[in-house]
Amino acid sequence: MATSIAASALRPKVAGGLSAILNLVGAFLPSEVESTVSNKIIAIGSSPTRSAAWLECW
């Protein structure tokens, strides 16, 4: 958004509106990110010690 405003490609109100619309669209589209996070990064059912160690590293 800042790049398009700084380059004078879009006016700030248009860039903000476009950003809001695309954020809403992205929130409702299925994505692979949520499945990766829920299945590979945060292992449901793993031991609490392992989860705590991962959070400390992050």
Could you report the per-residue pLDDT of 24-58, keeping only the tens digit for each?
887 777 677 777 776 766 666 555 555 555 555 55
User: Radius of gyration (Cα) for the chain, nearest Å?
Assistant: 19
CB 36 within 8 A of CB 30: no
Taking a C-beta distance cutoff of 8 angstroms, is the pair 14, 4 a contact?
no
- Residue 48 in 3-state DSSP? helix
What amino acid is encoded at 21 in this protein?
Answer: I
Q: Read off the pTM.
A: 0.52
Q: How confident is the model at residue 3 (pLDDT cuts 50, 70, 90)?
A: very high
